[in-house]
Structures are given as C-alpha cells and as structure tokens.
Chains A and B, each alone.
Chain A
Amino acid sequence: DVKVTQSSRYLVKRTGEKVFLECVQDMDHENMFWYRQDPGLGLRLIYFSYDVKMKEKGDIPEGYSVSREKKERFSLILESASTNQTSMYLCASSAPGTGRAQYFGPGTRLLVL
C-alpha cells in the first residue's frame, strides 16, 4: 500500500512565523503535490514536483515555496505566515507520467493566529 505521511496533523503558528510542512512518501513516486483545501473553494494546487529539485507553480503559489532535495520528501514552506493561510494542507504523490492516481496524506490543519 502507498503510504504518504505528513509531519503534523494540527499546527498553530503566529503571524510572521516561518512554517515548514513536511511530506514523505514510501512508494518511490516521482510526482509530489501540495494542495490547500478550504470550504467553498475546494482543493487548490499550490506547487508540484515531478523530480528531485524540480518544481512547478500551481494555481496559488503566492506566499509559499517548496523544497525537494530527496525523492521521497517534499516540503512546503510558508515564508511569513499570515492569517489567510489558515487552512487544511494536503500532500499527494503519484507514479511517473500524467493521468496517474494521486495518493494523499492525512492532511495538516494549520491555524495562523
């Protein structure tokens, strides 16, 4: 079974803090994704990566950056957290190529005060 883990289930941070969300997958997948999920807005893609050290902006990259130094790990960084980044963050991975099933982690619910 594919396993995608996220470093925290719940996180509370202060405005202006630098926040790191980590995601690890154990299936040797090339593709990894970060989404945020908000009521009424659905899932929105922040960034994705199709290989180590490669990254592509998604639909809402502003205020975020990512790092992929190892194949199994994809980190999302909030450079200076703001209250409008309070959300549920979901990481996913998929096998190489397009049109493949994504496998999701359990999510991190982030609250920025």
Chain B
Amino acid sequence: AQSVTQLDSHVSVSEGTPVLLRCNYSSSYSPSLFWYVQHPNKGLQLLLKYTSAATLVKGINGFEAEFKKSETSFHLTKPSAHMSDAAEYFCVVSDNSGTYKYIFGTGTRLKVLA
C-alpha cells in the first residue's frame, strides 16, 4: 500500500531565506515521487520527479529534492525563497506496481514574507 505524508500544512519563510517542505512516503514497490506547485485558482505544475535515477533531483525555479530510501523521505528545498514561490505544494507518490494510482499529499501552503 502507498501513502504520503506532508509533515507541515503551513510554512512561512522570509524572502531570501531557505525553503524546506517535508514529505515522507511509504510504498510496497519502488516508488516514483513528484512535487507539484499550485498557485491560487490554477492547475498543478510539475516541479520535479524522481523515477529511480539520481537521488538528488533538480527541478524548475531553483527547487530540488533528495530521495532518501532509508528515511522514506523526499523533502523539497530551495536555497533562497522568492515572493513568487508563495503557493501550495503537493508531494505525490506512484508505486510502479502496474496500477494507475497516484497518492497525493494534503499539501503545504508556503507563505513568503517580505
């Protein structure tokens, strides 16, 4: 069975400081993991994906995430927050077991303070 837990529902950072959004997962199979961003009244935009290649994954807009199998984590980071990063972020897992099931986290709302 798959599950995904986003450990923080809200995160606030100051502009120019690092961002850390935490995600833990469980999967019976080798997982694919994704981070998406959603701005208000918009669709979900793919930030980055892990599909069993390099464990450190670089995405768009300066975001990156590290797959840590021993910790079952896939945390999203960015060295320096920008005002435009304020949005909701979703961690998603799919377990490559032959189903078309994607499990979405409950989301983390990122606030960036000027």
Q: List 29 A-B contacts (CB under 8 A).
A: A4-B43, A33-B100, A42-B106, A42-B107, A43-B90, A43-B104, A45-B101, A48-B100, A50-B100, A56-B100, A88-B41, A90-B43, A90-B44, A92-B44, A98-B94, A98-B97, A99-B95, A100-B32, A100-B51, A101-B32, A102-B34, A102-B44, A102-B92, A104-B43, A104-B44, A106-B42, A107-B41, A107-B42, A109-B41
Chain A's nearest CB lies how many Å from the CB of B93? 9
What number of A-B contacts does a CB cutoff of 8 Å give?
A: 56
Interface of B with A (CB < 8 Å)?
Answer: 31-32, 34, 36, 41-46, 49, 51, 90, 92, 94-102, 104-107
**With known contacts A42-B106, A107-B41, A101–B98 Cβ distance under 8 A:** no
Chain A's nearest CB lies how many Å from the CB of B89? 13
Question: A99 near B94 (CB under 8 angstroms)?
Answer: yes
Closest to A10 in B: B41
B49 partner residues in chain A, CB cutoff 8 A: 101
A101 partner residues in chain B, CB cutoff 8 A: 32, 34, 46, 49
Cα distance A92–B107 in the bound complex, in angstroms = 18
Cα distance A33–B104 in the bound complex, in angstroms = 14
Interface of A with B (CB < 8 Å)?
Answer: 4, 31, 33, 42-43, 45, 48, 50, 56, 88, 90, 92, 98-107, 109
B95 partner residues in chain A, CB cutoff 8 A: 98-99
Cα distance A33–B100 in the bound complex, in angstroms = 10
Cα distance A107–B43 in the bound complex, in angstroms = 5
A50 partner residues in chain B, CB cutoff 8 A: 100
B41 partner residues in chain A, CB cutoff 8 A: 88, 107, 109
